[in-house]
């Protein structure tokens, strides 16, 4: 074993490159990136985890859009909604430790605690007035996910446009756009978010998300600009220009695809930031307001009852953490996949195999 390691360190970087080249021969750039991404275990688990959370929340609570007067709703499969107050009078039935509305979920089989496994009528319990807590939590998760995607999408679009224009045209356009970016940047996100949320929070979650989106693009714009500054000096841009391509065509067809990696990665980070900002604002009372539901709002409402009914506090937090964690891991996987300097870790066996093959050849 020790010998093998010693030998192994002598293999040149060239051999590693050859393995890499052999694996990617005949594949398009997109396929190579997809391959690298699929190989990233944590990221792949996160993709499925996030999909599960999204599908579960949206299908369980249904879809709620539109305004208060003419709502567009699709009913979900979960029998209770956030408006049902104590559907079966179950809140009066105490659990063994005297807590009203405790969770009915039980994963311990019969022979350990004497009653069977199962979800029961209210798996996550009920809040103090008897509303099913699973209905509240999935509704909150649904709202947070919507905020996440709207803010992420808006930040992506505005940031890319501003960054691309500033980076491509340079000079006075660049100077003006970057000073505007700085102007937005000196405003702390939480402060501007609170000012916005305090005025728009009562309108519901979508207007709030759209307003937040207008203040979430600055970091991305900076990244895109830096990337454009270097890309526009490259030969392929000159070639396109000589061939008579318009500026618009050069930006969209030639430079933007090359900057896509950084845009997507920064976009995912933006999304995980958005979910934390939204829940923080709702926690402080500057975001989504009652009677509407949000994960941050649920936590703030039940923080004082932690010692009595900890389940009311744990679940919304676990949803926030899992969504943010999944998004962060996906972002990490994407970064590794898009980074051209990134080399796959080449296992001992592969190195050994490639070197022996070379000897034979």
Partner 1 sequence: MFAYISRRLGMMLLIVFGASFMVYNLQAISSNPLEAFAESTEKNKEQQMARLIRELNLDVPPPVRYFIWFRGIIAGLWGQLDLGQTRDNFMVMDQIAAAIPITFRLVIASTILAILLGITIGMITAIRQYSRFDYTMTFVSFLLFSLPIFWVAVLLKEYMAIQFNDFLVNPQIPIELVVIIGLIIGFIFAGIAGGTRKRFLTIFAGVSVLAIGLLFGMSSSSWFTDPGLGIIGVGIMSFVAAAVTTQLSTGLDNKASLRTALAAASVVTISYYPMQLLLGPESGLLSVFLAFSITIALSSIIGYFMDTEDRKVNIRVGVLTAFVGTFVLFIDRSMQEFNAYMFSDAIGGRPVSTLGQANDVLSPEQVGSFWISGLDAVMHLVLPTVALTLVSFAGYVRFSRGSLLEVLNMDYIRTARAKGLTERTVITRHAMRNAMLPLTTILVNDFAGVIGGAIITESIFQWSGMGSLFNQALRSYDLNLLMGVFIIGAVLTVVANLVADLLYGVVDPRIRIRK
- Interface with partner 1 (CB under 8 A): 42, 179-180, 182-188, 190-192, 194-196, 198-199, 272, 276, 279-280, 283-284, 286, 296, 299-300, 303, 306-307, 313, 317, 320-321, 324-325, 328-329, 332, 345
The two most distant CA atoms of the chain are separated, in Å, by: 80
For the bound state, the minimum distance from the C-beta of residue 68 to partner 1, rounded and expressed in Å, comes to 20
Bridge partners (DSSP) listed for residue 341: none
* Cβ 270 vs Cβ 152: under 8 Å: yes
Helix or strand holding residue 74 (H, E): strand 71-74
For the bound state, the minimum distance from the C-beta of residue 95 to partner 1, rounded and expressed in Å, comes to 20
For the bound state, the minimum distance from the C-beta of residue 323 to partner 1, rounded and expressed in Å, comes to 8
Return the number of the residue (48 or 306) whose C-beta is nearest partner 1.
306
Spatial CA neighbour of 334 closest among 252, 263, 276: 263
For the bound state, the minimum distance from the C-beta of residue 166 to partner 1, rounded and expressed in Å, comes to 16
Please give the structure tokens belonging to residue 148.
Answer: 């996440």
Return the number of the residue (251 or 265) whose C-beta is nearest partner 1.
265
SS3 104: coil
Return the number of the residue (206 or 284) whose C-beta is nearest partner 1.
284
SS3 240: helix
Return the number of the residue (87 or 317) whose C-beta is nearest partner 1.
317
The number of angstroms, rounded, from the C-alpha of 37 to the middle of its chain's C-alpha atoms is: 16
For the bound state, the minimum distance from the C-beta of residue 115 to partner 1, rounded and expressed in Å, comes to 27
Rounded to whole angstroms, the Cα distance separating 115 from 111 reads: 8
* CB count in 10 Å sphere of residue 307: 7
* Cβ 348 vs Cβ 4: under 8 Å: yes
For the bound state, the minimum distance from the C-beta of residue 72 to partner 1, rounded and expressed in Å, comes to 27
Return the number of the residue (248 or 341) whose C-beta is nearest partner 1.
341
Return the number of the residue (44 or 325) whose C-beta is nearest partner 1.
325
The number of angstroms, rounded, from the C-alpha of 269 to the middle of its chain's C-alpha atoms is: 7
């Amino acid at each position: 074993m020790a010998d093998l390691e010693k030998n192994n360190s002598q293999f040149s970087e060239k051999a590693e490159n050859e393995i890499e080249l052999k694996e990617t021969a005949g594949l398009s750039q997109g396929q190579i990136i997809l391959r690298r991404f699929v190989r990233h275990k944590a990221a792949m688990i996160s993709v499925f985890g996030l999909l599960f959370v999204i599908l579960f929340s949206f299908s369980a609570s249904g879809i709620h859009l539109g305004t208060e007067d003419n709502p567009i709703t699709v009913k979900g499969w979960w029998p209770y909604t956030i408006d049902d107050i104590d559907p079966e009078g179950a809140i009066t039935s105490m659990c063994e430790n005297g807590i009203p509305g405790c969770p009915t979920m039980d994963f311990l089989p019969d022979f350990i605690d004497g009653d069977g496994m199962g979800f029961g009528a209210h798996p996550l319990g009920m809040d103090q007035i008897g509303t099913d807590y699973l209905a509240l939590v999935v509704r909150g998760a649904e709202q947070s996910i919507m905020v996440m995607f709207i803010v992420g999408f808006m930040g992506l679009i505005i940031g890319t446009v501003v960054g691309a224009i500033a980076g491509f045209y340079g000079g006075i356009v660049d100077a003006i756009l970057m000073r505007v970016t700085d102007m937005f940047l000196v405003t702390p996100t939480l402060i501007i978010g609170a000012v916005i949320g305090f005025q728009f929070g009562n309108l519901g979650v979508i207007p709030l998300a759209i307003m937040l989106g207008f203040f979430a693009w600055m970091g991305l714009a900076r990244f895109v600009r830096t990337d454009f500054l270097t890309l526009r000096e490259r030969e392929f841009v000159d070639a396109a220009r000589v061939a008579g391509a318009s500026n618009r065509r050069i930006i969209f067809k030639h430079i933007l695809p090359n900057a896509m990696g950084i845009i997507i990665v920064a976009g995912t980070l933006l999304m995980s930031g958005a979910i934390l900002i939204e829940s923080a604002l709702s926690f402080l009372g500057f975001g989504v307001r009652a009677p509407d539901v949000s994960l941050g709002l649920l936590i703030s409402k039940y923080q004082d009852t932690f010692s009595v009914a900890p389940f009311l506090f744990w679940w919304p937090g676990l949803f926030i953490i899992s969504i943010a964690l999944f998004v962060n891991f996906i972002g990490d996987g994407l970064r590794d996949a898009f980074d051209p300097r990134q080399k796959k870790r080449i296992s001992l066996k592969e190195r050994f195999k490639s070197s022996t093959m070379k000897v034979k050849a």
